[in-house]
Amino acid sequence: MSEGLVAGRDAGRAVSADGVIEDAVEIRLPADSAYLSVLRTATAGLAARLDFTLDEIEDLRIAVDEACAMLLPHAIETAQLTCRFELTPETLEVTVTIPTTRGQLPERDTFSWTVLTALAGEVDTGLDSERQVWIRLRKRRGAAGPA
C-alpha cells in the first residue's frame, strides 16, 4: 500500500471483560478530505461483516464522513486522521481522532451533530492532553434510532 494513502493499519482481536470476542481495525490517513472515500469504504465493509442492513451501512458511511468533516477544518497542517473501528457481534464503534490547533470540541447544538446522532445512535466527543479531538460513533445492529 502507498505510504501516502494509508500510513498505518492495525488489526487485532481481543476478549472484552464480559468474554465477548472483539475485532479492532485502525486506519491512519492524511488529514485531507480527498482520502475520506477510504474511510467510507472501510466503514461499509466492516458494517457488512456484522450483517448490518443496507440502510444501516449507508447511515454509518454518512456519519463517519460527517464526523471527519467536523474535525478536518481544525487539524494541524501535517496531521494524520486516525479512525479506529471496534466490532462486537451487535455493535460497530468508530472513533475518529485528529490533532488540532486549538483543541476545541465540536459544538453539540449544530445541525451536523444532530445528523450524527440520528444516523449513528450514540455519539460522543472528547479531547486529550495533546489537543487531539475525537468523535466516537456507536451503532447497534437493528437499532431504530439512538441506542
DSSP letters, 26-80, are: EEEEESSGGGHHHHHHHHHHHHHHTT--HHHHHHHHHHHHHHHHHHGGGB-TT-E
pLDDT given for residue 103 in this prediction: 87
122 burial via Cβ count (<10 Å: 0-12, 13-18, 19+): middle
Q: Could you tell me which of 63, 113, 102 has the C-alpha nearest to residue 85?
A: 63
The Cα 112–Cα 134 span in angstroms is 15
Domain spans in the chain, listed from the N-terminal domain onward:
8-140
Cell representation of residue 76: 494541524
- Residue-level pLDDT at 5: 34
Strand partners, 24: 12, 86
Tell me if 22 sits within 8 A of 87, measured CB to CB.
yes
Cell of 14: 481481543
Share of the chain above pLDDT 70, in %: 82
pLDDT in tens, 58-86: 999 999 999 999 999 999 989 999 999 99
- pLDDT mean across residues, the chain: 85
Mean pLDDT within 18-37: 85
Q: Is the pLDDT of residue 110 over 80?
A: yes
Q: What is the pTM of this model?
A: 0.82
Cβ contact 23:86 at 8 Å: yes
What is the maximum span of the chain, computed from C-alpha positions, in angstroms?
A: 41
Give per-residue pLDDT as tens, 88-99: 989 999 999 999
- The mean pLDDT value for 117-133 works out to 92
The highest-level CATH class for domain 8-140 is alpha beta
The pLDDT value given to residue 18: 58
Q: How confident is the model at residue 17 (pLDDT cuts 50, 70, 90)?
A: low
